[in-house]
A and B are shown apart, each in its own frame.
Chain A
Protein backbone atom coordinates (compact mmCIF):
# COMPACT_ATOMS: atom_id res chain seq x y z
CA UNK A 1 0.00 0.00 0.00
CA UNK A 2 1.49 3.31 -1.02
CA UNK A 3 1.59 6.10 1.56
CA UNK A 4 -0.74 9.10 1.53
CA UNK A 5 0.70 12.61 1.70
CA UNK A 6 0.19 12.92 5.47
CA UNK A 7 2.35 9.87 6.17
CA UNK A 8 5.45 11.04 4.31
CA UNK A 9 8.68 12.16 5.97
CA UNK A 10 9.39 15.90 5.91
CA UNK A 11 11.04 17.04 2.70
CA UNK A 12 10.87 13.73 0.79
CA UNK A 13 13.64 12.39 3.02
CA UNK A 14 14.13 8.64 2.91
CA UNK A 15 16.30 6.13 4.72
CA UNK A 16 19.89 5.75 3.52
CA UNK A 17 20.61 2.84 1.17
CA UNK A 18 17.22 3.13 -0.53
CA UNK A 19 18.66 1.53 -3.73
CA UNK A 20 18.90 -1.83 -1.90
CA UNK A 21 15.14 -2.12 -2.29
CA UNK A 22 15.25 -1.29 -5.95
CA UNK A 23 16.07 -4.50 -7.77
CA UNK A 24 17.40 -3.33 -11.10
CA UNK A 25 18.26 -6.85 -12.27
CA UNK A 26 15.05 -7.08 -14.24
CA UNK A 27 16.25 -4.29 -16.56
CA UNK A 28 18.84 -6.70 -17.98
CA UNK A 29 19.00 -7.62 -21.69
CA UNK A 30 22.41 -9.36 -21.42
CA UNK A 31 23.48 -11.52 -18.50
CA UNK A 32 27.16 -11.72 -17.46
CA UNK A 33 28.46 -15.25 -16.98
CA UNK A 34 31.49 -15.30 -14.70
CA UNK A 35 33.90 -18.22 -14.78
CA UNK A 36 35.54 -19.02 -11.49
CA UNK A 37 38.14 -21.08 -13.31
CA UNK A 38 39.25 -18.29 -15.68
CA UNK A 39 39.10 -15.47 -13.11
CA UNK A 40 42.53 -14.13 -12.04
CA UNK A 41 41.06 -12.15 -9.10
CA UNK A 42 42.30 -8.83 -10.49
CA UNK A 43 39.16 -7.08 -9.16
CA UNK A 44 38.83 -4.82 -12.24
CA UNK A 45 35.19 -5.87 -12.68
CA UNK A 46 34.51 -5.07 -9.03
CA UNK A 47 36.09 -1.62 -9.42
CA UNK A 48 34.24 -0.78 -12.63
CA UNK A 49 30.76 -2.15 -11.89
CA UNK A 50 28.51 0.95 -11.65
CA UNK A 51 25.94 -0.91 -9.54
CA UNK A 52 28.23 -2.66 -7.06
CA UNK A 53 26.78 -5.91 -8.36
CA UNK A 54 30.05 -7.86 -8.39
CA UNK A 55 30.16 -9.93 -5.21
CA UNK A 56 33.44 -9.84 -3.32
CA UNK A 57 33.74 -11.78 -0.08
CA UNK A 58 36.75 -12.79 2.02
CA UNK A 59 39.07 -11.00 -0.44
CA UNK A 60 37.78 -12.94 -3.45
CA UNK A 61 35.43 -12.34 -6.36
CA UNK A 62 32.57 -14.78 -5.83
CA UNK A 63 30.25 -13.94 -8.71
CA UNK A 64 27.68 -11.42 -9.86
CA UNK A 65 24.55 -10.38 -7.99
CA UNK A 66 21.83 -10.79 -10.60
CA UNK A 67 19.29 -9.07 -8.34
CA UNK A 68 20.98 -5.73 -9.17
CA UNK A 69 23.11 -6.36 -12.33
CA UNK A 70 21.62 -4.31 -15.19
CA UNK A 71 23.66 -6.20 -17.76
CA UNK A 72 25.65 -3.20 -18.99
CA UNK A 73 28.65 -5.40 -19.88
CA UNK A 74 31.31 -3.10 -18.44
CA UNK A 75 32.72 -5.99 -16.37
CA UNK A 76 33.12 -8.17 -19.46
CA UNK A 77 34.76 -5.29 -21.36
CA UNK A 78 37.18 -4.50 -18.51
CA UNK A 79 38.08 -8.12 -17.78
CA UNK A 80 41.68 -8.50 -19.14
CA UNK A 81 41.64 -10.30 -22.56
CA UNK A 82 44.08 -12.94 -21.28
CA UNK A 83 41.55 -13.99 -18.68
CA UNK A 84 38.22 -13.27 -20.48
CA UNK A 85 36.42 -14.62 -17.45
CA UNK A 86 33.11 -12.85 -18.15
CA UNK A 87 30.90 -13.57 -21.12
CA UNK A 88 27.68 -11.70 -21.95
CA UNK A 89 24.71 -13.85 -23.03
CA UNK A 90 21.25 -12.79 -24.08
CA UNK A 91 18.97 -12.83 -21.05
CA UNK A 92 16.18 -14.36 -23.15
CA UNK A 93 18.22 -17.57 -23.44
CA UNK A 94 17.77 -18.10 -19.71
CA UNK A 95 14.08 -17.34 -19.65
CA UNK A 96 12.82 -19.88 -22.15
Chain B
Protein backbone atom coordinates (compact mmCIF):
# COMPACT_ATOMS: atom_id res chain seq x y z
CA UNK B 1 0.00 0.00 0.00
CA UNK B 2 1.31 3.48 -0.80
CA UNK B 3 2.64 5.12 2.33
CA UNK B 4 2.05 8.74 1.47
CA UNK B 5 -1.77 8.51 1.37
CA UNK B 6 -3.44 9.25 4.69
CA UNK B 7 -6.74 7.37 4.86
CA UNK B 8 -9.41 8.46 7.30
CA UNK B 9 -11.03 5.47 8.99
CA UNK B 10 -14.66 6.22 9.80
CA UNK B 11 -17.90 4.39 10.58
CA UNK B 12 -20.42 4.88 7.78
CA UNK B 13 -23.55 3.19 6.46
CA UNK B 14 -23.60 2.19 2.78
CA UNK B 15 -25.72 5.22 1.98
CA UNK B 16 -23.38 7.53 3.87
CA UNK B 17 -20.40 6.00 2.08
CA UNK B 18 -22.07 6.64 -1.29
CA UNK B 19 -22.92 10.22 -0.31
CA UNK B 20 -19.34 10.84 0.87
CA UNK B 21 -18.02 9.53 -2.44
CA UNK B 22 -20.36 11.93 -4.25
CA UNK B 23 -19.16 14.82 -2.07
CA UNK B 24 -15.54 14.07 -2.88
CA UNK B 25 -16.33 13.66 -6.58
CA UNK B 26 -18.05 17.07 -6.46
CA UNK B 27 -20.10 16.53 -9.65
CA UNK B 28 -21.17 19.47 -11.80
CA UNK B 29 -24.83 18.45 -11.58
CA UNK B 30 -26.87 16.12 -9.37
CA UNK B 31 -30.60 15.80 -10.14
CA UNK B 32 -32.48 13.45 -7.86
CA UNK B 33 -35.71 12.35 -6.25
CA UNK B 34 -35.80 10.48 -2.92
CA UNK B 35 -36.81 6.84 -2.54
CA UNK B 36 -36.37 4.28 0.23
CA UNK B 37 -33.77 2.88 0.86
CA UNK B 38 -31.64 5.30 -1.21
CA UNK B 39 -33.18 8.51 0.18
CA UNK B 40 -30.27 9.23 2.49
CA UNK B 41 -27.76 9.34 -0.35
CA UNK B 42 -29.24 12.45 -1.91
CA UNK B 43 -30.56 13.80 1.40
CA UNK B 44 -27.00 13.86 2.72
CA UNK B 45 -25.74 15.20 -0.57
CA UNK B 46 -28.33 17.99 -0.45
CA UNK B 47 -26.96 18.97 2.96
CA UNK B 48 -23.43 19.03 1.50
CA UNK B 49 -24.77 21.43 -1.12
CA UNK B 50 -26.48 23.57 1.53
CA UNK B 51 -23.33 23.62 3.64
CA UNK B 52 -21.21 24.72 0.71
CA UNK B 53 -19.05 21.60 0.78
CA UNK B 54 -19.58 20.99 -2.94
CA UNK B 55 -19.99 23.27 -5.94
CA UNK B 56 -22.66 21.05 -7.50
CA UNK B 57 -25.79 22.42 -9.17
CA UNK B 58 -28.41 20.38 -7.28
CA UNK B 59 -31.76 19.84 -9.01
CA UNK B 60 -34.49 18.47 -6.72
CA UNK B 61 -36.74 17.01 -9.41
CA UNK B 62 -40.43 16.10 -9.10
CA UNK B 63 -39.90 12.45 -10.10
CA UNK B 64 -37.14 10.03 -11.02
CA UNK B 65 -38.15 10.36 -14.68
CA UNK B 66 -37.44 14.08 -14.46
CA UNK B 67 -34.30 13.54 -12.38
CA UNK B 68 -32.63 11.29 -14.93
CA UNK B 69 -33.88 13.50 -17.78
CA UNK B 70 -32.19 16.49 -16.14
CA UNK B 71 -29.07 14.33 -15.78
CA UNK B 72 -29.17 13.56 -19.52
CA UNK B 73 -29.44 17.27 -20.33
CA UNK B 74 -26.60 18.17 -18.00
CA UNK B 75 -24.37 15.37 -19.30
CA UNK B 76 -25.14 16.35 -22.90
CA UNK B 77 -23.96 19.84 -21.96
CA UNK B 78 -20.67 18.27 -20.93
CA UNK B 79 -21.03 18.03 -17.16
CA UNK B 80 -19.90 15.38 -14.70
CA UNK B 81 -23.31 14.17 -13.56
CA UNK B 82 -24.59 11.83 -10.85
CA UNK B 83 -27.82 10.75 -9.18
CA UNK B 84 -29.11 8.07 -6.85
CA UNK B 85 -32.21 5.91 -6.82
CA UNK B 86 -33.73 2.53 -6.04
CA UNK B 87 -36.43 0.11 -7.15
CA UNK B 88 -39.55 1.95 -8.42
CA UNK B 89 -37.37 5.00 -8.95
CA UNK B 90 -35.05 3.11 -11.28
CA UNK B 91 -38.12 1.65 -12.97
CA UNK B 92 -39.50 5.15 -13.54
CA UNK B 93 -36.13 6.13 -15.05
CA UNK B 94 -36.27 3.11 -17.35
CA UNK B 95 -37.04 4.74 -20.70
CA UNK B 96 -34.45 7.48 -20.15
CA UNK B 97 -31.75 4.96 -19.17
CA UNK B 98 -31.69 3.73 -22.76
CA UNK B 99 -31.43 7.28 -24.08
CA UNK B 100 -28.54 8.14 -21.74
CA UNK B 101 -26.54 5.11 -22.89
CA UNK B 102 -27.37 5.57 -26.58
CA UNK B 103 -26.18 9.18 -26.36
CA UNK B 104 -23.06 7.77 -24.66
CA UNK B 105 -23.37 10.03 -21.62
CA UNK B 106 -21.18 9.08 -18.63
CA UNK B 107 -23.81 9.50 -15.88
CA UNK B 108 -23.22 7.56 -12.64
CA UNK B 109 -26.16 6.34 -10.55
CA UNK B 110 -25.75 5.27 -6.93
CA UNK B 111 -28.38 2.55 -6.96
CA UNK B 112 -29.61 0.73 -3.86
CA UNK B 113 -31.04 -2.67 -4.79
CA UNK B 114 -34.64 -3.08 -3.67
CA UNK B 115 -37.44 -5.38 -4.78
CA UNK B 116 -39.74 -4.03 -7.43
CA UNK B 117 -43.38 -3.96 -6.32
CA UNK B 118 -45.71 -5.80 -6.19
CA UNK B 119 -46.57 -6.79 -3.65
CA UNK B 120 -45.22 -3.56 -2.17
CA UNK B 121 -41.86 -4.13 -0.53
CA UNK B 122 -38.98 -1.87 0.42
CA UNK B 123 -36.28 -4.48 1.09
CA UNK B 124 -33.43 -5.92 -0.90
CA UNK B 125 -33.44 -8.04 -3.97
CA UNK B 126 -31.88 -7.47 -7.36
CA UNK B 127 -35.06 -7.27 -9.46
CA UNK B 128 -34.77 -3.51 -9.99
CA UNK B 129 -31.21 -3.56 -11.33
CA UNK B 130 -31.88 -6.74 -13.32
CA UNK B 131 -34.80 -4.94 -14.97
CA UNK B 132 -32.24 -2.50 -16.40
CA UNK B 133 -29.71 -5.06 -17.53
CA UNK B 134 -30.33 -4.49 -21.25
CA UNK B 135 -30.30 -0.69 -20.96
CA UNK B 136 -26.65 -0.38 -21.99
CA UNK B 137 -25.43 0.72 -18.55
CA UNK B 138 -22.34 -0.62 -16.82
CA UNK B 139 -23.50 -2.46 -13.69
CA UNK B 140 -21.21 -2.87 -10.67
CA UNK B 141 -22.53 -4.74 -7.61
CA UNK B 142 -20.94 -3.92 -4.25
CA UNK B 143 -20.55 -6.29 -1.35
CA UNK B 144 -20.11 -3.65 1.36
CA UNK B 145 -19.81 0.09 1.97
CA UNK B 146 -16.09 0.17 1.14
CA UNK B 147 -16.63 -1.47 -2.23
CA UNK B 148 -19.50 0.88 -2.97
CA UNK B 149 -17.36 3.91 -2.09
CA UNK B 150 -14.39 2.71 -4.16
CA UNK B 151 -16.56 1.56 -7.06
CA UNK B 152 -18.37 4.88 -7.35
CA UNK B 153 -15.09 6.78 -7.57
CA UNK B 154 -13.82 4.29 -10.15
CA UNK B 155 -17.12 4.31 -12.07
CA UNK B 156 -16.82 8.05 -12.77
CA UNK B 157 -13.46 7.44 -14.48
CA UNK B 158 -14.62 4.27 -16.25
CA UNK B 159 -17.77 5.96 -17.54
CA UNK B 160 -15.85 8.93 -18.86
CA UNK B 161 -13.30 6.69 -20.60
CA UNK B 162 -15.89 4.30 -22.05
CA UNK B 163 -18.44 7.08 -22.70
CA UNK B 164 -21.10 4.94 -21.09
CA UNK B 165 -23.24 5.42 -17.98
CA UNK B 166 -22.79 3.31 -14.84
CA UNK B 167 -24.98 1.91 -12.10
CA UNK B 168 -23.10 1.15 -8.88
CA UNK B 169 -25.29 -0.83 -6.49
CA UNK B 170 -25.45 -1.73 -2.84
CA UNK B 171 -28.02 -4.08 -1.31
CA UNK B 172 -30.96 -2.24 0.25
CA UNK B 173 -30.82 -2.05 4.07
CA UNK B 174 -28.30 -4.90 4.26
CA UNK B 175 -25.54 -2.56 3.06
CA UNK B 176 -27.31 0.77 2.71
CA UNK B 177 -28.25 1.01 6.41
CA UNK B 178 -25.56 -1.08 8.10
CA UNK B 179 -22.79 0.84 9.87
CA UNK B 180 -19.44 -0.38 8.61
CA UNK B 181 -15.77 0.49 8.69
CA UNK B 182 -14.84 2.76 5.81
CA UNK B 183 -11.40 3.91 4.72
CA UNK B 184 -11.88 7.27 3.08
CA UNK B 185 -9.43 8.89 0.73
CA UNK B 186 -8.46 12.53 1.25
CA UNK B 187 -10.77 14.84 -0.75
CA UNK B 188 -7.92 16.11 -2.89
CA UNK B 189 -6.83 12.57 -3.70
CA UNK B 190 -10.25 11.76 -5.21
CA UNK B 191 -10.02 14.86 -7.38
CA UNK B 192 -6.49 13.93 -8.47
CA UNK B 193 -7.58 10.40 -9.31
CA UNK B 194 -10.54 11.60 -11.39
CA UNK B 195 -8.84 14.52 -13.07
CA UNK B 196 -10.64 17.11 -15.15
CA UNK B 197 -13.46 15.80 -17.33
CA UNK B 198 -13.19 16.90 -20.95
CA UNK B 199 -16.23 15.67 -22.88
CA UNK B 200 -15.84 14.70 -26.52
CA UNK B 201 -18.96 16.71 -27.35
CA UNK B 202 -20.95 19.37 -25.58
CA UNK B 203 -24.29 20.87 -26.54
CA UNK B 204 -23.09 24.16 -25.07
CA UNK B 205 -20.01 24.35 -27.28
CA UNK B 206 -21.09 27.10 -29.67
CA UNK B 207 -17.88 26.79 -31.69
CA UNK B 208 -18.68 23.18 -32.51
CA UNK B 209 -22.48 22.96 -32.83
CA UNK B 210 -23.88 19.42 -32.83
CA UNK B 211 -27.20 17.65 -33.11
CA UNK B 212 -28.10 15.13 -30.39
CA UNK B 213 -31.10 12.84 -30.07
CA UNK B 214 -31.55 12.17 -33.75
CA UNK B 215 -34.52 10.38 -35.29
CA UNK B 216 -32.92 7.17 -36.42
CA UNK B 217 -34.96 4.74 -38.49
CA UNK B 218 -34.43 1.55 -40.51
CA UNK B 219 -31.34 2.89 -42.24
CA UNK B 220 -29.11 3.72 -39.21
CA UNK B 221 -30.66 2.57 -35.90
CA UNK B 222 -29.15 -0.92 -36.22
CA UNK B 223 -25.64 0.48 -36.87
CA UNK B 224 -25.91 2.76 -33.84
CA UNK B 225 -26.99 -0.17 -31.63
CA UNK B 226 -24.16 -2.32 -32.97
CA UNK B 227 -21.66 0.43 -32.14
CA UNK B 228 -23.16 0.73 -28.65
CA UNK B 229 -22.77 -3.00 -28.08
CA UNK B 230 -19.13 -2.77 -29.13
CA UNK B 231 -18.56 0.11 -26.72
CA UNK B 232 -19.84 -2.09 -23.89
CA UNK B 233 -17.71 -5.02 -25.06
CA UNK B 234 -14.46 -3.06 -24.82
CA UNK B 235 -15.31 -1.53 -21.44
CA UNK B 236 -13.52 -4.24 -19.38
CA UNK B 237 -10.22 -2.84 -20.70
CA UNK B 238 -11.04 0.54 -19.17
CA UNK B 239 -12.25 -1.14 -15.99
CA UNK B 240 -9.00 -3.05 -15.59
CA UNK B 241 -6.95 0.05 -16.36
CA UNK B 242 -8.81 2.12 -13.73
CA UNK B 243 -8.76 -0.76 -11.24
CA UNK B 244 -5.00 -1.21 -11.64
CA UNK B 245 -4.35 2.48 -11.14
CA UNK B 246 -6.63 2.54 -8.10
CA UNK B 247 -4.83 -0.48 -6.61
CA UNK B 248 -1.43 1.04 -7.28
CA UNK B 249 -2.36 4.29 -5.60
CA UNK B 250 -4.57 3.07 -2.75
CA UNK B 251 -3.86 -0.64 -2.31
CA UNK B 252 -7.37 -2.00 -2.86
CA UNK B 253 -7.82 -4.07 -5.98
CA UNK B 254 -11.08 -5.06 -7.63
CA UNK B 255 -11.73 -7.51 -10.46
CA UNK B 256 -14.62 -8.08 -12.83
CA UNK B 257 -15.12 -11.37 -11.00
CA UNK B 258 -13.49 -12.32 -7.69
CA UNK B 259 -12.69 -15.89 -6.73
CA UNK B 260 -12.44 -17.26 -3.20
CA UNK B 261 -10.87 -20.65 -2.39
CA UNK B 262 -11.50 -21.48 -6.01
CA UNK B 263 -8.10 -22.83 -7.12
CA UNK B 264 -8.82 -26.46 -6.25
CA UNK B 265 -12.55 -26.15 -5.55
CA UNK B 266 -14.82 -28.85 -6.92
CA UNK B 267 -18.13 -27.34 -5.88
CA UNK B 268 -18.47 -23.63 -6.50
CA UNK B 269 -21.20 -21.05 -5.96
CA UNK B 270 -21.63 -17.87 -7.99
CA UNK B 271 -22.95 -14.92 -6.02
CA UNK B 272 -23.45 -11.14 -6.30
CA UNK B 273 -23.70 -8.38 -3.69
CA UNK B 274 -23.96 -8.67 0.08
CA UNK B 275 -24.46 -12.47 0.13
CA UNK B 276 -20.84 -12.95 -1.05
CA UNK B 277 -19.36 -12.39 2.41
CA UNK B 278 -21.81 -14.80 4.09
CA UNK B 279 -21.01 -17.38 1.42
CA UNK B 280 -17.27 -17.04 2.05
CA UNK B 281 -17.86 -17.67 5.77
CA UNK B 282 -19.66 -20.91 4.84
CA UNK B 283 -16.81 -21.85 2.48
CA UNK B 284 -14.37 -21.41 5.40
CA UNK B 285 -16.43 -23.84 7.53
CA UNK B 286 -16.64 -26.38 4.71
CA UNK B 287 -12.91 -26.17 4.06
CA UNK B 288 -12.26 -26.96 7.74
CA UNK B 289 -14.31 -30.09 7.19
CA UNK B 290 -12.17 -31.00 4.19
CA UNK B 291 -14.82 -30.21 1.57
CA UNK B 292 -13.38 -28.68 -1.60
CA UNK B 293 -15.79 -25.73 -1.72
CA UNK B 294 -15.21 -22.34 -3.30
CA UNK B 295 -17.18 -19.30 -4.41
CA UNK B 296 -16.91 -16.62 -7.02
CA UNK B 297 -18.41 -13.17 -6.82
CA UNK B 298 -19.56 -11.41 -9.95
CA UNK B 299 -18.79 -7.76 -9.25
CA UNK B 300 -19.41 -6.46 -12.75
CA UNK B 301 -22.59 -7.86 -14.26
CA UNK B 302 -22.63 -5.54 -17.29
CA UNK B 303 -20.68 -5.86 -19.47
CA UNK B 304 -21.14 -9.54 -18.69
CA UNK B 305 -17.70 -10.97 -17.79
CA UNK B 306 -18.06 -14.14 -19.85
CA UNK B 307 -14.34 -14.89 -20.33
CA UNK B 308 -13.60 -14.47 -16.61
CA UNK B 309 -16.50 -16.70 -15.63
CA UNK B 310 -15.55 -19.46 -18.07
CA UNK B 311 -11.92 -19.33 -16.92
CA UNK B 312 -12.97 -19.70 -13.28
CA UNK B 313 -15.77 -22.21 -13.67
CA UNK B 314 -14.72 -24.65 -16.37
CA UNK B 315 -13.84 -28.10 -15.14
CA UNK B 316 -15.70 -27.81 -11.81
CA UNK B 317 -17.74 -30.75 -10.59
CA UNK B 318 -20.85 -28.76 -9.69
CA UNK B 319 -21.86 -25.11 -9.81
CA UNK B 320 -24.60 -23.38 -7.86
CA UNK B 321 -25.64 -19.95 -9.15
CA UNK B 322 -27.33 -17.77 -6.55
CA UNK B 323 -29.91 -15.39 -7.97
CA UNK B 324 -31.51 -12.61 -5.94
CA UNK B 325 -34.09 -12.05 -8.70
CA UNK B 326 -36.48 -14.39 -10.44
CA UNK B 327 -37.47 -14.30 -14.06
CA UNK B 328 -40.81 -15.91 -13.14
CA UNK B 329 -40.76 -19.04 -15.27
CA UNK B 330 -37.92 -17.89 -17.44
CA UNK B 331 -35.22 -20.55 -17.28
CA UNK B 332 -34.09 -19.58 -13.78
CA UNK B 333 -32.88 -16.18 -12.64
CA UNK B 334 -30.85 -13.83 -14.86
CA UNK B 335 -27.42 -14.70 -13.44
CA UNK B 336 -28.05 -18.43 -13.85
CA UNK B 337 -29.19 -18.10 -17.45
CA UNK B 338 -26.08 -16.17 -18.45
CA UNK B 339 -23.54 -18.16 -16.43
CA UNK B 340 -24.90 -21.48 -17.65
CA UNK B 341 -25.00 -20.22 -21.23
CA UNK B 342 -21.39 -19.01 -20.95
CA UNK B 343 -20.30 -22.56 -20.06
CA UNK B 344 -22.15 -24.22 -22.92
CA UNK B 345 -19.16 -24.02 -25.30
CA UNK B 346 -16.93 -25.95 -22.88
CA UNK B 347 -16.11 -29.58 -23.61
CA UNK B 348 -17.04 -30.73 -20.15
CA UNK B 349 -20.05 -28.76 -19.09
CA UNK B 350 -20.20 -28.61 -15.30
CA UNK B 351 -23.69 -29.42 -13.99
CA UNK B 352 -25.07 -26.02 -13.00
CA UNK B 353 -28.15 -25.35 -10.89
CA UNK B 354 -29.90 -22.14 -9.90
CA UNK B 355 -30.73 -21.16 -6.31
CA UNK B 356 -33.13 -18.25 -6.13
CA UNK B 357 -33.00 -16.64 -2.68
CA UNK B 358 -33.65 -13.52 -0.66
CA UNK B 359 -36.53 -12.01 -2.64
CA UNK B 360 -38.05 -8.96 -0.97
CA UNK B 361 -35.29 -8.89 1.66
CA UNK B 362 -35.79 -12.47 2.93
CA UNK B 363 -32.73 -13.22 5.06
CA UNK B 364 -30.22 -15.74 3.76
CA UNK B 365 -28.75 -17.78 6.60
CA UNK B 366 -25.44 -19.61 6.68
CA UNK B 367 -27.40 -22.85 7.14
CA UNK B 368 -29.23 -22.22 3.88
CA UNK B 369 -25.98 -21.59 2.02
CA UNK B 370 -24.58 -24.76 3.58
CA UNK B 371 -27.70 -26.51 2.23
CA UNK B 372 -26.82 -25.27 -1.28
CA UNK B 373 -23.32 -26.75 -0.96
CA UNK B 374 -24.82 -30.03 0.30
CA UNK B 375 -26.98 -30.16 -2.82
CA UNK B 376 -23.90 -29.40 -4.94
CA UNK B 377 -22.19 -32.40 -3.32
CA UNK B 378 -25.17 -34.54 -4.40
CA UNK B 379 -24.94 -33.11 -7.91
CA UNK B 380 -21.21 -33.85 -7.97
CA UNK B 381 -21.98 -37.45 -6.98
CA UNK B 382 -24.74 -37.88 -9.59
CA UNK B 383 -22.95 -35.92 -12.31
CA UNK B 384 -26.11 -33.93 -12.98
CA UNK B 385 -28.55 -31.64 -11.23
CA UNK B 386 -31.95 -33.05 -10.27
CA UNK B 387 -33.68 -29.69 -10.10
CA UNK B 388 -32.14 -27.00 -12.24
CA UNK B 389 -34.09 -24.17 -10.67
CA UNK B 390 -34.49 -24.15 -6.89
CA UNK B 391 -35.91 -21.73 -4.35
CA UNK B 392 -34.00 -21.27 -1.09
CA UNK B 393 -35.69 -19.97 2.04
CA UNK B 394 -39.27 -19.90 0.77
CA UNK B 395 -41.97 -21.58 2.89
CA UNK B 396 -43.56 -24.53 1.11
The answer to whether B230 and A5 have CB atoms under 8 Å apart is: yes
The answer to whether A2 and B212 have CB atoms under 8 Å apart is: no
Q: Mark B212-236, 1 if CB is under 8 A from A, else 0.
A: 1010100110111011001000000
Interchain CA distance A13-B104 in the complex, whole Å:
10
Residue of A nearest to B105 (CB): A11
- Count of CB-CB pairs between chains A and B under 8 Å: 53
Interchain CA distance A10-B200 in the complex, whole Å:
9
The answer to whether A5 and B104 have CB atoms under 8 Å apart is: no
Question: A11-B104, A13-B201 given as contacts; is B227 within 8 A of A18 (CB)?
Answer: no
Interchain CA distance A2-B222 in the complex, whole Å:
12
Chain A residues near B212 (CB-CB < 8 A):
11-13
Chain A residues near B220 (CB-CB < 8 A):
2-3, 8, 12
Residue of A nearest to B209 (CB): A16
The answer to whether A12 and B209 have CB atoms under 8 Å apart is: no
Interchain CA distance A10-B164 in the complex, whole Å:
10
In the assembled complex, B211 has its CB within 8 A of some CB on chain A: yes
In the assembled complex, B126 has its CB within 8 A of some CB on chain A: no
Selected contact of A15 from candidates B102, B211, B227, CB within 8 Å: B211
Interchain CA distance A50-B104 in the complex, whole Å:
31
Distance to closest chain A CB from B290 (angstroms): 53
Chain B residues near A4 (CB-CB < 8 A):
223
In the assembled complex, B103 has its CB within 8 A of some CB on chain A: yes
Interchain CA distance A16-B226 in the complex, whole Å:
24
In the assembled complex, B317 has its CB within 8 A of some CB on chain A: no
Selected contact of B201 from candidates A3, A6, A11, A18, CB within 8 Å: A11
In the assembled complex, B302 has its CB within 8 A of some CB on chain A: no
The answer to whether A12 and B102 have CB atoms under 8 Å apart is: yes
In the assembled complex, A17 has its CB within 8 A of some CB on chain B: yes
Q: Mark A1-41, 1 if CB is under 8 A from B, else 0.
A: 01111101011111111100000000000000000000000
Interchain CA distance A13-B103 in the complex, whole Å:
8
In the assembled complex, B210 has its CB within 8 A of some CB on chain A: yes
The answer to whether B210 and A13 have CB atoms under 8 Å apart is: yes
Chain A residues near B223 (CB-CB < 8 A):
3-5, 8
Distance to closest chain A CB from B202 (angstroms): 11
Chain A residues near B105 (CB-CB < 8 A):
11
Residue of B nearest to A16 (CB): B209
Question: A10-B163, A11-B104 given as contacts; is B210 within 8 A of A16 (CB)?
Answer: yes
Interchain CA distance A13-B199 in the complex, whole Å:
13
Most chain B beta-carbon contacts within 10 A, residue among A5, A6, A12, A13: A12
Residue of B nearest to A4 (CB): B223
Chain A residues near B226 (CB-CB < 8 A):
5
Chain B residues near A6 (CB-CB < 8 A):
227
Interchain CA distance A12-B212 in the complex, whole Å:
7
Residue of A nearest to B211 (CB): A14
Distance to closest chain A CB from B383 (angstroms): 44
The answer to whether A16 and B163 have CB atoms under 8 Å apart is: no
The answer to whether B201 and A10 have CB atoms under 8 Å apart is: yes
The answer to whether B224 and A12 have CB atoms under 8 Å apart is: yes
The answer to whether B210 and A5 have CB atoms under 8 Å apart is: no
Chain B residues near A2 (CB-CB < 8 A):
219-220
Interchain CA distance A16-B132 in the complex, whole Å:
31
The answer to whether B224 and A8 have CB atoms under 8 Å apart is: yes
Distance to closest chain B CB from A15 (angstroms): 6
Report B72-130 residues with CB < 8 Å from chain A CB: 102-105
Distance to closest chain A CB from B207 (angstroms): 11
Q: List 24 A-B contacts (CB under 8 A).
A: A3-B220, A3-B223, A5-B222, A5-B223, A5-B226, A5-B227, A5-B230, A6-B227, A8-B227, A10-B163, A11-B102, A11-B212, A12-B103, A12-B224, A13-B211, A13-B212, A14-B211, A15-B209, A16-B209, A16-B210, A16-B211, A17-B209, A18-B211, A18-B214
Return the 5 tightest CB-CB contacts between A and B, nearest first.
A11-B104, A16-B209, A5-B223, A5-B226, A14-B211
Other A-B contacts than A10-B163, A13-B210, 6 sampled, CB-CB below 8 A, are: A5-B230, A11-B102, A11-B103, A12-B102, A15-B209, A17-B211
